[in-house]
Structure 1
Amino acid sequence: MFKKHLLFLILTFTTLMGFADTPQPNIPHLRKKLMQAINSKPTTDSLYKSLEMIQQRSGLLNGYMGALEALKAKHAWNPYFKIKYLSNCEDTFKEAVAQDPHNIEIRFMRFSVEHNVPGFLGYTKNLAVDKQEMIHQIELKNYGTADKELVITVIKFMLDSKHCTADETNFLNKTLAALK
């Protein structure tokens, strides 16, 4: 009996130590670094490597991985690798959305990537569904981990994207005014 309890405690402790070895990133810091990565290949590569080491990624972290894969495509000079990273990005975003389908931050990252990728590449399939989900979450004021600054950025980006109807634009402008 004592051996079973001891074995259970050892297994539990070992499992917890394994999770402790994988530091979880600070999301506000990660957001800032992602913005820097847009124009910096070294920052993109560094962030990608640090997130790649995390074994059990949440939907949000997978969303950041998808965004970083898109940035790796942007920074790559070889067309083969550009397409490869975009394909990986699409799969990673699909997984992120499946893990956390109502997360406005994940939807925003995928929407912004798809908005900026040339349409002829075929990576713009989720623009409408992501737009609808973001608007729905804004209506519910369900911002998840997104802070006020990010919500304002999301709304401004959606307005600038020209993917919104007149009613959606009106709603987003009213919401934006209330947030300021």
Structure 2
Amino acid sequence: MLLRSKYILVTAILLLFIPFNSSRGNTVPDDIPGPDPQVIRKLLVSAINSGKVTDSLYNKLGSIKNPSGLVSGYLGTLQALKAKHSWNPYFKIKHLNDAEKTFKNAVTRDPHNIEIRFMRFSVEHNVPGFLGYTKNLVVDRHEIIRQIDKKHYASADEPLVRTIVTFLLDSKRCTPAETSKLSQHLASL
């Protein structure tokens, strides 16, 4: 029940930064011109509740030769969603292991990108702690806050930054000093 409510929270938060002018479908359109972050973010929200969208978007992004760090981050998120949609415990763990490796690669390619760090943080925050997939929560939180302090948002637009800050505050994983700093940033956005 707690895990389900966390997924609902993530879905609600992700909806805050997704444009609503496109229609939702059960698959990814074949004519996506390139990895447009706005389109991918919208499809990721659909993928949270649809294994079909997850698989379709994963196949589309997985076919990109030499993906950027951000695209690798999206792939890591999709691998984590594949774990969510799988009923077989073996495949759940396999997909989480794959996601962990993909996120590591994404962070290596673009270590200061707050969107990549946020995706990994949100996955690790929502995976049960006893599985051991929470190794990067502190380092990701610190890097996100450091980049927000510098106003270095990379590919993240203002609504996404607002979502990231809100998620960090709601996660209750921040120190009192970080909470105060993030609240000030949120007020200034």
Q: Is 1:149 the counterpart of 2:184 in the alignment?
A: no
2:137 corresponds to which letter in structure 1? L
Point out the structure with the larger helix share: 1
Provide the aligned length of Structure 1 versus Structure 2.
158
After superposition, the C-alpha distances for 1:25-59 in whole angstroms (9 at most, x for unaligned) are 11111011111111111111111010111111000
Please say if residues 23 and 54 of structure 1, whose CA atoms lie closer than 8 Å, have aligned partners that are also in contact. Answer: no
Give, in angstroms, the shift of residue 23 of structure 1: 5.3
Aligned partner of 1:45: which letter?
Answer: D
**Structure 1 residue 30 corresponds to structure 2 residue 40:** yes
* Cα deviation code 1:70-99 (max 9, x no counterpart): 000000000000000000000000000000
TM-score, structure 1 normalization? 0.86
- The match for 1:122 is 132
Give % identity.
62
Equivalent residue runs for 1:1-180 within 5 Å:
24-179=34-189
- Which structure 1 residue ranges, 5 or more long, are not aligned? 1-21
Give, in whole Å, the separation in 1 of the partners of 2:166 and 2:33.
Answer: 32
CA drift of 1:135 comes to 0.1
**How far did 1:24 drift?**
2.7
Gaps of 5+ in 2: 1-31
Report the Cα distance in structure 1 between the residues aligned to 2:33 and 2:163, rounded to whole angstroms: 28
Moved over 4 A (4+): none
In structure 1, give the amino acid aligned to 2:47. A
Look up the SS of the partner of 1:171 in the other structure. Answer: helix
RMSD over aligned Cα, in angstroms?
A: 1.1
Q: Is the 8 A contact 1:73 1:85 kept in 2?
A: yes
C-alpha distance in structure 2 between counterparts of 1:113 and 1:140, whole Å: 24
Task: Confirm or deny: 8 A CA contact 1:70 1:113 kept in the other structure.
Answer: yes
Q: Secondary structure at the match of 1:142?
A: coil
Give 1:108 deviation, angstroms: 0.1
Greater Rg over alpha carbons, structure: 1
Paired residues of 1:60 and 1:105 also in contact (CA < 8 A): yes
